């Protein structure tokens, strides 16, 4: 009998099972691969076993980084990338790198960009932070941590952005912000073009790349921010909006207690050749019109 696996993560709202991109990515991957995870929402990351989230616990094993969580699930034969070719696996890594480079700062590779974009949208943009992010997290953190923890998280986000994007020729925060948003829009356009009319990025089966893109785009798409610069651009790309809505409807409609997995930065050929649990495939999924899928979701909170 397989050892039970428990995922600790931030909770959700606005129809999302989690507002935390890394947590949401892991939850989506688990859904895609069929990994039987139990989700434990926490209101303070300091309560997590390693002081950060998401954290996966299986017996005496504690894993705190999403990429390591992904590798662990693969070793348990829960592999959403089982049917990908070597080229598609390489493409996945390339797009993840792009997300991290170009969306993370305004959340910088596609995935890294998404990450920066998400950080900026939630934690650095002053109006969004003061009217949405700070109140939401503060309301879910116990006193007195609620007085300073959101500010600490905001400063960490700003430091990460400046470390990755600050410096010549971008000397001011305004210049860094402008470049981040240019990169983010370029990244979204690239993802939209890559997805095209397909259900998922590599056909009709969701993979690691789908989990990662969903985890970082869905909060930008769904959260009601007063500053909507990037959200407005995202909503002009209906296939990406439909992509998020379909995953929410088909994989998180009945329960949000199952987790998913983030992107692995290493492809293990040995795992590919070993027996795997077959990825979960939705044979009845139809492409929904933008916005329709979200109406069936209940407003969730941790």
Please state, in angstroms and rounded to a whole number, the distance separating the CA atoms of residues 120 and 182: 13
Q: Tell me, what's the pLDDT at 97? A: 57
Summarised one tens digit per residue, pLDDT across range 128-170 is 999 999 998 888 887 888 888 889 888 888 888 887 766 666 6
End-to-end Cα distance, the chain: 30
Summarised one tens digit per residue, pLDDT across range 206-264 is 988 899 899 989 999 999 888 878 899 999 999 999 999 999 999 997 443 333 332 22
Mean pLDDT of the chain: 74
Q: Kindly indicate the confidence band of residue 92, based on its pLDDT and cuts at 50, 70 and 90.
A: low
Residue 27, pLDDT above cutoff 80: yes
Q: Kindly indicate the confidence band of residue 284, based on its pLDDT and cuts at 50, 70 and 90.
A: very low
The Cα-based distances of 300 to 118, 172, 256 in angstroms read 20, 38, 9
Peptide bond into 144 cis (omega under 30): yes
Please state, in angstroms and rounded to a whole number, the distance separating the CA atoms of residues 47 and 52: 8
Please state, in angstroms and rounded to a whole number, the distance separating the CA atoms of residues 162 and 167: 8
Instruction: Answer with the residue of higher pLDDT: 299 or 4.
Output: 4
SS (H, E, C) the chain: CCCCEEEEEECCCCCCCCCCHHHHHHHHHHHHHCCCEEEEEECCHHHCCCCCCCEEEECCEEECCHHHHHHHHHHCCECCCCCCCHHHHHHHHHHHHHHHHHCCCCCCCHHHHHHHHHHHHHHHCHHHHHHHHHHHHHCCCCCCHHHHHHHHHHHHHHHHHHHHHCECCECCHHHHHHHHHHHHHHHHHHHHHHHCCCCECCECCCCHHHHHHHHHHHHHHHCCCCCCHHHHHHHCCHHHHHHHHHHHHHHCCCCCCCCCCCCCCCCCHHHHHCCCECCCCCCCCCCCCCCCHHHHCCCCCC
Instruction: Answer with the residue of higher pLDDT: 84 or 157.
Output: 157
Instruction: Answer with the residue of higher pLDDT: 122 or 258.
Output: 122
Residue 77, pLDDT above cutoff 60: yes
Please state, in angstroms and rounded to a whole number, the distance separating the CA atoms of residues 6 and 97: 28
Instruction: Count CB atoms within 10 A of the CB of residue 288.
Output: 17
Residue position matching structure tokens 């001011």: 172
The Cα-based distances of 198 to 49, 92, 221, 229, 298 in angstroms read 39, 16, 19, 26, 27
Q: Kindly indicate the confidence band of residue 198, based on its pLDDT and cuts at 50, 70 and 90.
A: very high
Phi-psi category of 103—alpha, beta or left, where left has phi over 0 and alpha has psi -120 to 50? alpha
Judge contact between 70 and 150, C-beta under 8 A. no
Tokens read off for 3 = 């050892």
Please state, in angstroms and rounded to a whole number, the distance separating the CA atoms of residues 22 and 115: 9
**What are the beta bridge partners of residue 39?**
7
Q: Tell me, what's the pLDDT at 218? A: 94
Q: Tell me, what's the pLDDT at 112? A: 63
Q: Tell me, what's the pLDDT at 153? A: 85
């Amino acid at each position: 009998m397989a050892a039970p696996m428990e995922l600790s993560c931030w909770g959700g709202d606005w129809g999302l099972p989690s507002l935390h991109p890394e947590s949401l990515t892991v939850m989506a991957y688990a859904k895609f691969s069929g990994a039987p995870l139990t989700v434990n929402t926490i209101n303070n990351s300091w309560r997590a076993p390693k002081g950060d989230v998401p954290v996966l616990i299986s017996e005496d094993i504690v894993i705190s980084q999403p990429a390591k969580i992904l590798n662990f699930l693969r070793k348990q034969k829960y592999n959403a990338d089982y049917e990908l070719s070597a080229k598609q696996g390489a493409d996945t890594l390339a797009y993840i790198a792009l997300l991290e480079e170009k969306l993370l700062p305004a959340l910088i590779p596609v995935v890294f960009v998404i990450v920066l974009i998400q950080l900026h949208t939630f934690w650095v943009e002053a109006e969004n932070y003061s009217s949405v992010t700070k109140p939401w997290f503060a309301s879910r953190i116990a006193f007195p941590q609620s007085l300073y923890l959101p500010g600490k998280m905001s400063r960490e986000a700003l430091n990460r952005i400046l470390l990755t994007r600050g410096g010549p020729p971008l000397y001011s925060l305004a210049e860094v912000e402008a470049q981040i948003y240019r990169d983010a829009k370029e990244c979204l356009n690239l993802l939209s073009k890559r997805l095209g009319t397909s259900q998922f990025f590599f056909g009709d089966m969701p993979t690691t790349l789908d989990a990662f893109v969903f985890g970082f785009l869905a909060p930008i798409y769904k959260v009601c921010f007063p500053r909507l610069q990037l959200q407005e651009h995202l909503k002009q790309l209906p296939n990406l909006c439909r992509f998020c809505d379909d995953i929410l409807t088909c994989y998180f409609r009945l329960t949000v207690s199952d987790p998913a997995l983030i992107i692995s930065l290493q492809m293990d050929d040995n795992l590919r050749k070993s027996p795997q649990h077959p990825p979960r495939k939705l044979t009845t999924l139809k492409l929904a019109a933008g916005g329709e899928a979200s109406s069936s979701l209940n407003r969730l909170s941790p």
